[in-house]
Chains A and B, each alone.
Chain A
Amino acid sequence: MGDWHGHKHHDHEHQAVPSDPALRVKALESLLVEKGLVDPAALDALIDTYENKVGPRNGARVVARAWVDPAYKQRLFKDATAAIAELGYGGRQGEHMVVVENTPSVHNLVVCTLCSCYPWSVLGLPPVWYKSAPYRSRAVIDPRGVLREFGVVLTEDVEVRVWDSTAELRYLVLPERPAGAENLQEDDLAALVTRDAMIGTAKVAAPQRAGA
C-alpha cells in the first residue's frame, strides 16, 4: 500500500491517510489481514449475510404471520423477540425487539436520532436516507411533514407516535393489512410488505388484482 504516500489530500493534519475511502479501506484491510487481526474469508461471510440472507423479507414474514394468526400477533406484542425467533430470526441488532401496531387511529414511525439504530435481524442494514441527517433530525420534530415526503398523508385525528431508538430496543412497525388482501395466503401477504412500511414511512398498498 505504498501508493498512499503519493496522496496529497489529508482529512486533517494528524491523519496520514489517503483521501479516497476505497484506497483507505483496502489499505486497512490489508494491514489487519497481514497482522492476523481479521480473516478475509470472515469478511466475505459477513457481507454475504447482509447482502443475501438477512433483509426486509424476514420482517415481511413476521408481519404476514401476525396478519393471519391472531395468537401469534398477541405473542408478538407480549414478547416480540421470542415471537420473531419462532420464525427463525434474531441475533445481532435484533436482540431486544418491540413491535408497534399501526391502526386507523395510530401511526408509528421509527428513527434513531443519535446514530443509526435499526432492527437488522428483520430489516437488514438501514438505507442511506434512514441514516441521513435530514431524516434523523426531522422525524421527531416534523413527523407529518416527513411522512408527506414519503407520500403518506395523515389526517389530524390520527395520532402519530415516533419511536426514537435511543437504547438497545429495536422497533418494528406492524402495518395495517390493506383492503383487498382478505383472501391472500401468508406468502402472498408477505410479498406485499415493504421495508418502508415496517419503518413506518409507508403504508402497505392493496394487492394488484391477480391476472390483471
Chain B
Amino acid sequence: MGPIEPEPNEPVFHYEWEARAFALNIAAGAWRKWNIDAGRHEIELLPPANYLRMSYYEKWTARLVELLIKAGLVTRAEIASGTPERGSSKATPPLTPAQVPSVLRTGAAASRNVSVAPRFRAGERIRARNIHPAGHTRLPRYARGHVGTIDRDHGVYVFPDSNAHFRGENPQHVYSVRFAARELWGEQASPRDFVYIDLWDDHLEPVRS
C-alpha cells in the first residue's frame, strides 16, 4: 500500500468543496432517512475502482447522492439536471443553524438500554466466525476464523450488520477482543503485538477445548 504520508500543519479541509461536502452529509443526515451504518455501507457499495481512486470527500459526495436518491429526497434526474423537478414542493430543512451546536454536542448514542444477556465473559477465549456476508459487516476479514480473548464487555449496542440494511437494530453486546498478532498474521509478527477489535456477539463463537 506504500508509505503513510503525514502532512505537516494539515488544514481541517484542503478545499472549500471538501468542507461543503462534509457539512452536506451531516445536514442531509438530519432528515433521519438513513442511519450511520447505512451511510458507511453506501461508501462500501462504490465500485471498487472508484473506491480506491476517489479522495475521501469525493466518496462522501458520491455516497450522499446515492443515499438521497434511495431515500426519495431527490431524483436521479434532479441530480443530472441540477434543478428541482417541475411541480416539486419545497421542504423545510430539519437542521437550522441555531440547532447545530446542540445537535453536535448531543450526538447519537449507539448503545441501547435494553436487557440482553452477554454470550461471553471477560477472559473467555472466542473464535471470530468465518463468515462472508454479501452486505455490511463490522467483522474485519483479517480476524475471521481466528481465536482471541474477550478483554472487556462494552455493553449493548446497535448491530450494524443488520441496521445498515434497515433490518432492525438487533442490539447485542460488543466486546473488545484481544488477538495476538501471531494468531492473525503468523510468525512474521512480533510476539509482543496485539490487536484489539470491537466485535458483537453475532460475530463470535465459543472455542471448544
| Chain A interfacial positions (CB closer than 8 Å to B) | 1-2, 4, 11-12, 15-17, 21-22, 24-32, 34-39, 41-47, 49-51, 54-55, 90-96, 98, 113-116, 121, 124-125, 127-129, 131-135, 137-138, 140-141, 143-144, 146, 149-150, 156-169, 196, 201
Across the interface, which residues of A come within 8 angstroms of B16, CB to CB?
A: 22
Contacts A21-B57, A47-B13, A162-B195; A16 near B110 (Cβ below 8 A):
no
B13 touches A51 (CB 8 A): yes
A166 touches B93 (CB 8 A): no
A39 touches B93 (CB 8 A): yes
Q: A28-B64, A38-B28, A201-B6 are in contact. List 5 more A-B contacts (CB 8 A).
A: A21-B58, A41-B97, A114-B40, A129-B4, A166-B197
Contacts A125-B22, A159-B194; A113 near B78 (Cβ below 8 A):
no
A115 touches B61 (CB 8 A): no
Kindly identify which residue among A43, A50, A128 contacts B27, using a CB–CB cutoff of 8 Å: A43
B192 touches A159 (CB 8 A): yes
Distance between A147 CB and nearest chain B CB, rounded to angstroms: 10
Across the interface, which residues of B come within 8 angstroms of A12, CB to CB?
A: 47, 50
Kindly identify which residue among B52, B68, B181, B192 contacts A157, using a CB–CB cutoff of 8 Å: B192
Contacts A25-B20, A43-B24, A115-B40; A140 near B195 (Cβ below 8 A):
yes
A37 touches B64 (CB 8 A): no
Taken together as a complex, chains A and B put the C-alpha atoms of A164 and B146 apart, in Å, by: 15
Kindly identify which residue among A98, A128, A157, A164 contacts B56, using a CB–CB cutoff of 8 Å: A128
Kindly identify which residue among B82, B139, B158 contacts A30, using a CB–CB cutoff of 8 Å: B82
Across the interface, which residues of B come within 8 angstroms of A49, CB to CB?
A: 100-101, 104
Kindly identify which residue among A15, A51, A93 contacts B19, using a CB–CB cutoff of 8 Å: A51
| Chain B interfacial positions (CB closer than 8 Å to A) | 1-7, 10, 12-17, 19-24, 26-28, 31, 40, 43, 47, 50, 52, 55-58, 61-62, 64-65, 68, 73-74, 78-84, 88, 90-93, 95-97, 99-101, 103-111, 138-140, 142, 154, 157-158, 160, 174, 176, 181, 184-185, 189-190, 192-200
Kindly identify which residue among A22, A133, A161 contacts B196, using a CB–CB cutoff of 8 Å: A161
Contacts A21-B61, A39-B96, A156-B192; A96 near B109 (Cβ below 8 A):
yes
Across the interface, which residues of A come within 8 angstroms of B57, CB to CB?
A: 21, 25
B6 touches A127 (CB 8 A): yes
A38 touches B93 (CB 8 A): yes
Q: Which 7 A-B pairs have the closest CB atoms?
A: A1-B82, A167-B198, A168-B110, A43-B23, A36-B91, A45-B100, A91-B107
Across the interface, which residues of B come within 8 angstroms of A26, CB to CB?
A: 17, 20
Distance between A44 CB and nearest chain B CB, rounded to angstroms: 7
Kindly identify which residue among A38, A90, A137 contacts B24, using a CB–CB cutoff of 8 Å: A38
Taken together as a complex, chains A and B put the C-alpha atoms of A92 and B1 apart, in Å, by: 31
A95 touches B109 (CB 8 A): yes
A37 touches B73 (CB 8 A): yes
Contacts A128-B7, A129-B5; A165 near B79 (Cβ below 8 A):
no
Across the interface, which residues of A come within 8 angstroms of B181, CB to CB?
A: 141, 143, 160
Taken together as a complex, chains A and B put the C-alpha atoms of A12 and B14 apart, in Å, by: 26
B1 touches A16 (CB 8 A): no
B78 touches A31 (CB 8 A): yes
Across the interface, which residues of A come within 8 angstroms of B13, CB to CB?
A: 47, 51
Across the interface, which residues of A come within 8 angstroms of B154, CB to CB?
A: 96, 98, 167, 169
Kindly identify which residue among B64, B91, B96 contacts A42, using a CB–CB cutoff of 8 Å: B96
B190 touches A39 (CB 8 A): no
Taken together as a complex, chains A and B put the C-alpha atoms of A204 and B14 apart, in Å, by: 26
Taken together as a complex, chains A and B put the C-alpha atoms of A131 and B47 apart, in Å, by: 18
Taken together as a complex, chains A and B put the C-alpha atoms of A42 and B40 apart, in Å, by: 23
A131 touches B56 (CB 8 A): yes
A51: nearest chain-B partner, CB-CB? B12
A-B contact pairs, 26 of them (CB 8 A): A21-B21, A26-B17, A31-B82, A32-B28, A35-B84, A36-B93, A38-B93, A39-B27, A39-B96, A42-B23, A42-B95, A42-B96, A42-B100, A47-B23, A50-B22, A91-B104, A92-B103, A92-B104, A115-B43, A128-B14, A133-B52, A134-B5, A141-B181, A166-B197, A168-B110, A168-B157
